[in-house]
Amino acid sequence: MLPNGTQVPNRIAKAAMEENMADSNFAPSEGLIQLYRAWAEGGSGLLISGNVMIDRRAMTGPGGVVLENDDQLPLFKRWADTGRARGAQFWMQINHPGRQMPGDLAQETWAPSPISVDLGKMSKHFNPPRELTEEKIQDVIARFIETARLAEQAGFTGVEVHGAHGYLISQFLSPLTNKRRDQWGGSLENRARLLIEVVRGIRAAVSPDFAVAVKLNSADFQRGGFSQDDARQVVSMLNPLGVDLVELSGGSYEAPAMHGGARDGRTLAREAYFFEFAKDIQAFARMPVMVTGGVRRLPVAEQVVSSGVDMVGIATALAIDPNLPRDWENGRNSAPELSPITWKNKPLASLAYMSVVKYQLLKHSLGKPAKPEVSPLWALACGQLNNTVRSRRYRRKMAA
């Protein structure tokens, strides 16, 4: 039972993954709807969409879904109906990339402070950002609120505000990327102001039984960045705002802990990467807590829940086998996994990992079985070719 009074059928959530399967109008494509049909039939109690952008000028990738007005609302309604068809709750994850926007999209990049993404030789793929003005910050807040309002209108049962993984809200939270000296920077209270204003605005704009969740880094895993103590304090700030769930993850493009690159040695069988953080932060949270990152086996999921953590978010394992919850329910000890990518170039290895995951999503969107044994190099090459083609189309679309 969520604080808003609605029920999630079980404690397994399909966590968000970057699908990049929009149609030419930034709306859900037939392939994306087919992909969510597979997850809906798989038995997860909660489905959380991949990034839905609040502004078509600010994208995490060229094939991203955007919901900024009601032009394509019938397709979003189809998407919502598909995800909810078997009784699951379906939440839309809403996001702004800030400085983590690919440079080949040829859009102006904005961030809390003019600090570029540092990925060594790969940094060239991201344009140096400009510092957001007060007017643009207010526009971002208004866009988050409007996208949440439209998501409810489309039939989704909630939204999840993405405040993790180094995207815009996470950039405001981190002292490494937020060097502002106004009301939006400096103290943690100021750095958290954007998140708090977004959540407060959404809660006021949607129905009481519409879920409002937040995805938050348990830590940035970078020296001097957003810390575990910061996460505790931010959760305490969220407590009185009517938040229905906090999902804990971690990392950013620069330190991709969400892919297992910075696992805590105390975690369960080196799965559930952020489990220890979740147990700690749960002591400060008055809303349900969900932990995401690495869970693929039923005994691990059961141990997470039996420890008192409310929900288990699963991403990669459900990218391979959308029916995993149903398998577990039927007594099959499925434990889908991808082979580790041990390349010396960590940013490239992280990109290859995401490409392998997206390769599985593409298979399911075509109604085909996953292929977890795909070569990371092949998946990366396919992904880069797809991105190149989509980026060209995106630039033409935006120019028109």
Contact indicator for 131, 113 with CB cutoff of 8 Å? yes
Give the alpha-carbon dihedral of 176, 178, 181, 183, to 10 degrees.
-140
Count of beta carbons in the 10 Å neighbourhood of residue 262:
16
Query: Exposure string (b/e) for 336-353, b if CB count within 10 Å is 16 or more?
Result: bebeebeeeebbbbbbbb
- Which residue matches tokens 């929009």? 22
Amino acid identity for residue 104 in this structure? D
Q: Is the pLDDT of residue 272 over 70?
A: no
Over the range 145-174, which residues count as b (16 or more CB within 10 Å of their CB) and which as e?
bbbbbbbbebbbbbbbbbbbbbbbbbbbbb
The alpha carbon of 207 is separated from its chain's Cα centroid by a whole number of angstroms, namely 23
Where are the chain's structural domains? 12-336
pTM: 0.93
Q: Name the E strands within 133-279.
A: 158-163, 211-217, 245-249
Q: Are the C-beta atoms of residues 71 and 65 closer than 8 Å to each other?
A: no
C-alpha to C-alpha distance for 159 and 149, rounded to whole angstroms = 9
- pLDDT the model gives residue 271: 55
Tokens representing residue 154 in the block? 């489309």
Sign of CA dihedral 242, 65, 68, 180: positive
pLDDT-derived band at 269 (thresholds 50, 70, 90) equals very low
41, 221, 271, 272, 307 from 264: Cα distances, Å: 33, 10, 9, 9, 17
List the single range of 25-34, 137-146, 181-190, 276-285 with lowest mean pLDDT: 276-285
Which range, of 103-107, 135-139, 265-269, averages the lowest pLDDT? Answer: 265-269
Can you tell me the distance from the alpha carbon of 67 to that of 20, in angstroms, rounded to the nearest whole number?
A: 14
Instruction: Tell me the average pLDDT across 83-97.
Output: 98
Tokens for 105, please give them. 């999209």
89 burial level (CB within 10 Å; 0-12, 13-18, 19+): buried
For residue 71, the 8-state DSSP code is T
CATH topology of domain 12-336: TIM Barrel (3.20.20)
Helix (H) or strand (E) holding 124: none
Model pLDDT, residue 254:
64
